[in-house]
Amino acid sequence: MKMDKTSNNISVELTDSKNFKIKQQMNTKINLNRESHPMWALSHLMKFVLISTFILIGFQSPIAAQEAQYETPSWRFGLAGAANANYYQGTTQQLTSSLFTLQPFGHGNGVGLFLAPSIEYHNPESVFGFMLQAGLDSRRGTFDGVTSPCNCPLDLSTELSYITIEPSIRVAPFRSNFYLYAGPRFAFGRDKSFEYNKGVNPDFPNSSDPMDVNDDFSEMEKTQLSMQIGTGIDIPINSTSSRTQYMISPFITYHPYFGQTPRSIETWNNTTIRAGVAIKFGRGKRIDLPAPAPIVAAPLPAVNFTVNSPVNAPAERIFIESFPIRNYLFFNQESTTIPNRYILINRSQASDFNDNQLAGLNESPFAARSVRQMTVYYNILNILGDRMVKNPTSTITLVGSSVGGAQDATMRAESVKTYLVDIFGINASRITTEGRISPNLPSLKRQSGDQLALLRQEDSRVTIESRSASLLRAYRTGPDMSQPITSSSAQVAPSDSYVTFNVGNAYRNFASWSLEVEDEDGNTQNFGPYTDASVSLPGATILGNRSNGRYQVTMIGETTDGRTVRKESTVEVVRWEPDTLEVGSRYSVIYEFDSSTASSVEERFLTDVVAPSIPEGATVRIHGFTDTIGEADHNMQLSQARASNARSIIVRALAGTNRTDVRFESEGFGKNSTRSPFGNTHPEERFYNRTVLIEIIPAN
């Protein structure tokens, strides 16, 4: 006979009848050990849990159809089932008063069944509660096999079990279904039986018969006082529309060896880890729900719809325009070549170039102001080259910037330097280049999303810096005052002759709004849709070939939740027909990104150039603008703040000469695309849209 002590497997290779009896007894023991295996107990426990769960779900199905709602019950009753994983330590040798084993037994383990009814109280609104379980608590197990001095295998197992009472304090630390519990354990002895097996020496199979003893341990403690600590979670298995509510609660408990010494003699002790499931139910208190409020549609937004149509503008105006030139040259992403939208000339053309000739470009009254002024800007390199030729001692620094790194940025600056050297013959020693990742005044700061690409495009530039006053007078930015280039233009229809339609703050509640304009003959025109607070249309757009007319105007607003708001008004529209000529001045002041405070250079320009040019009794119109980056509300406030800032500087300058004869009109248009001075496609256009436009209209 051979015994594997680690696996408890026994094999017998005997052929006579006497040894066959030993083999039969060994097989019987193997079958007994199979039934005590942990997986056998766990499989029976899982069958119990699944059957109980299906029964409870069947009970709750017809109840779930009720419409009433009930609170989670505070008192809960149920049944807990678990597997006890028992671990033995210490020494056991005296089994009864007359039976001693040949060798002491020490460690052992086994799986026993725990089955107990459960009572629990826990108010869902509180942290603390109470639990009580009382029932069968099996601490069965098998000691590790030992070998006697005669080399005989010895085995010992027990069906030890108790009737247990386990009160616990329940704690739900997060006022949720997760809980902890702890408390004492009172155990009363129920079964103290054991089975002791002594085998034969495998080297002398015929020496003696094996011995099997089934008896009860002596000197057993009748009661035990120990402790437990555990955790669990309540999982509802039906809805709160049922008064009787069921829940399944997996739990795990730790029983340390303190107080778990089964006998009054020797040192045998037991540590147990219990894992199982409790099925609980309780009756909840009915929740008196208030009667459902009638569904009332949100009121339609209040709309203060106004239409303003001036009778006529008193005169045709020609403005002498002042246009500041940005000292920035913008590059396309991932490119070090000067974009083709800039006007580049050859060497022979450079000898004839004069920046004064730009004053006569595009003076046709049909050429938009933005086209005229951007023509000046796109000649920035030619203006710079011409100025440097006329001022041979002047020097400049070209600072390139690129998110691709300082090397790419320097290559951009070098491309500008190469143009000035090759085309205008500027000595290369007069031009310094450098590269950096971000410019000194970056647009890209904390923005993200759709704005990120636009602002990164704006930081891909070359900045022209110089301390030569003769060069800086042509540019908008720099440490000294710039002298703007001027041009004259005829205005086809001034903005103050436009018909303005305004919906006030109601635009915030509109996905869009449009206009339906009907004349006296019933002919209808449609305009829109719009998303800004106001829109201005030239009178000629509405009148067509007519000189005047009376119109019924209907504003149709589509709210964000799909409803329609209609407001009506009437308006008299008169075609703008100038009969006199007025010459005014127009200046532009550019602000940095998201700023409403003029820089020192801008403030000096308003104080030293703009304010002294205002004749007595003149009207000064100040209009603030932004680009299209950012929210509409923020940009509206920003444009108004810019207009207010420029006005304050001019008023302060006039007050210094004791002048109070000037009439001011100021307004902010935000990012209203119908009123923006320039487009928003290229970064230079957005830079010029961050502006305050100042129009000076003489009294006569």
Our measurement of the distance from residue 190's CA atom to the centroid of its chain's CA atoms, rounded to an integer in Å, reads: 61
CA 340/CA 336 separation, integer angstroms: 12
**Minimum mean pLDDT range among 140-144, 224-228, 342-346, 371-375:** 371-375
Write the CA distances from 655 to 268, 392, 610, 611, 612, integer angstroms.
104, 41, 14, 10, 11
Q: Is the pLDDT of residue 11 over 60?
A: no
Q: Is the pLDDT of residue 677 over 90?
A: no
> Of 678, 651, 629, which is closest to residue 324 (Cα–Cα)?
678
Q: Is the pLDDT of residue 395 over 80?
A: yes
Beta-strand pair 2-4/9-11:
antiparallel
Q: Is the pLDDT of residue 485 over 50?
A: no
In this prediction, residue 540 has a pLDDT band, given cuts at 50, 70 and 90, of confident
Q: Is the pLDDT of residue 362 over 90?
A: no
Copy the structure tokens of residue 501.
């339609």
Beta carbons within 8 Å of 411's beta carbon, 6+ residues apart: 336, 400, 435
> Of 585, 541, 620, 576, which is closest to residue 316 (Cα–Cα)?
576
Q: What are phi and psi of 485, to 5 degrees?
A: -80, 140
Tens digit of each residue's pLDDT (9 = 90 or more) over 214-257: 999 999 999 999 999 999 999 998 887 788 889 999 999 999 99
For every residue of 425-456, DSSP letters joined together read ---GGGEEEEEESS-SS-S-SS--THHHHHHH
pTM over 0.75: no
Are residues 193 and 25 in contact, defined by beta-carbon separation less than 8 angstroms? Answer: no
Give me the numbers of helices (H) and strands (E) for the chain, helices first please. Answer: 12, 37
Q: Which helix (H) or strand (E) holds 396?
A: strand 396-401
* Domains of the chain, first to last: 2-287 (no CATH), 325-483 (3.30.1330.60), 493-574 (2.60.40.1220), 582-700 (3.30.1330.60)
Higher pLDDT, 259 or 475: 259
**What percent of the chain shows pLDDT beyond 90?**
36
Are residues 313 and 540 in contact, defined by beta-carbon separation less than 8 angstroms? Answer: no
pLDDT (0 to 100) of residue 646: 93
CA angle 169–175–179, rounded 5-degree value: 40
Higher pLDDT, 311 or 279: 279
The 10 Å Cβ neighbour count of residue 112 is: 24
pLDDT (0 to 100) of residue 10: 35
List the beta bridge partners of residue 79.
Answer: 117, 279
In this prediction, residue 542 has a pLDDT band, given cuts at 50, 70 and 90, of confident
Tokens 């800004």 label which residue? 532
pLDDT (0 to 100) of residue 2: 38
- What is the overall mean pLDDT for the chain? 81
Q: Is the pLDDT of residue 578 over 80?
A: no
> Of 662, 664, 581, which is closest to residue 618 (Cα–Cα)?
662
Write the CA distances from 40 to 31, 101, 155, 271, 661, integer angstroms.
12, 29, 20, 20, 105
